Amino acid sequence: MSAVIRTAGLTKAFVSDWRRTRTVAVDRLDLEVGAGEIYGFLGPNGAGKTTTIKLLLGLLRASAGHAEILGEDARGLAHRSRLGFLPENPAFYDYLTGREFLDFCARLCGLAGAVRRERIARLLALVDLERAADLRLRKYSKGMLQRLGLAQALVNDPQLLILDEPQSGLDPAGRKQVRDLILQLRAEGRTVLFSSHILADAEMICDRVGIMNRGRLVAAGRLDELLHARVAAVEFQAEGLGDVARAALRSRATVFLEEGGRVQFTIAGDGGQVPEVLAAIAAGGGRVVAVAPQHETLEDVFLREVRTP
């Protein structure tokens, strides 16, 4: 898998004009995003995600290190025609219609008339805005504007899309529409890098993720590698337990539910406690119905990696 984005030691420091204090927003970042994948760029507020995106786009100059986009120096212009971008808080000319706005963007990209009209019609259908195409943008909902922003990021038919918080402020239906669109873009062979605070959505669609904290990449990899490497807890179901065994297991469990003669309980740990719990169930006269390990979620990994020491 060839790299579409690659950084080596990428660093950005800001110096306060008043106190002349130096703040490192991105600290020696080594990042690689492969062709045709969805890469989730995660981290708390102030982690350095947006600063990294601005460095990749050439909107900021790095203090040290190097970044490449589509095999070209990120500071150059050669790759810009193959790149699409949606900022976290896009600004629109609200007196334009959706069709007029996309036409304006397409003209900026130098598209000729026939190509421009065909491209705009296809994008309006892609983001499900055909019926609202001739409505003024001031009448668009947040979700409609976000989908229009995705359409403008695609107007030049890019190989790579960089999306900064594309699901921010959307309701569940709007988030699903954006998720489905990102998956469709990958199916077309495009590469998508997006930053997000919505971990559940990232877990649904990402091939790989990187977690930033305080300017550093603290974890990165495929989701199956990050999520299935560690058992967070084990869930047990048993029936026929005596009162003494129930009380003993309840004292150890993080969750303990009873229904009729069956109990369901969860004990935190990496699974090493399973033989001991099974022995306790048997000693208490019970029968094991089920044992299921609970692997970490992306939220568990995220909170562990960004936890303040």
Domain 231-305 coded CATH 3.30.1360:
no
Coil/strand/helix, residue 115: helix
The pLDDT, as a whole number, for residue 133 is 96
Cα(69)–Cα(191) distance, integer angstroms: 11
Cα dist from 31 to 15, 26, 34, 150, 167, whole Å: 24, 12, 10, 24, 23
pLDDT of residue 32: 94
* Whole-number pLDDT of residue 20: 77
In whole angstroms, what is the distance from residue 160 CA to residue 153 CA?
Answer: 10
Looking at the DSSP bridge assignments, the partners of residue 233 are 268, 294
Which tokens in the block code for residue 254?
Answer: 């993080």
What's residue 271's pLDDT? 75
pLDDT of residue 151: 94
Model pLDDT, residue 21: 84
The listed CATH number (3.40.50.300, 3.40.30.10, 3.30.470.10, 2.60.40.420) that belongs to domain 3-227: 3.40.50.300
Quote the CA–CA distance of 275 and 88 in Å, as a whole number. Answer: 50
CA distances from 144 to 127, 140, 167, 174 (A): 9, 6, 12, 8
Q: Catalogue the E-assigned strands of 20-147.
A: 22-34, 38-42, 64-69, 72-73, 83-86
- Amino acid 249 reads L
pLDDT for the residue numbered 226: 75
Q: Residue 127 is which amino acid?
A: V
Q: Alpha-carbon distance 79 to 190, whole Å?
A: 15
pLDDT at 201: 82
Confidence (pLDDT) at 228: 64
Per-domain residue ranges of the chain: 3-227, 231-305
pLDDT at residue 74, rounded to an integer: 92
Establish whether domains 3-227 and 231-305 are of one fold: no
pLDDT in tens, the chain (309 residues): 589 999 999 999 998 777 778 889 999 999 999 999 999 999 888 889 999 999 999 999 999 999 999 999 999 888 989 999 999 888 899 999 999 999 999 999 999 989 999 999 999 999 999 999 999 999 999 889 989 999 999 999 999 999 998 887 788 888 888 889 899 999 999 999 999 877 888 888 999 999 998 899 988 888 777 776 567 788 999 999 988 888 889 898 888 888 888 999 998 877 788 888 999 999 889 899 988 887 777 777 777 777 755
The reported pTM is: 0.78
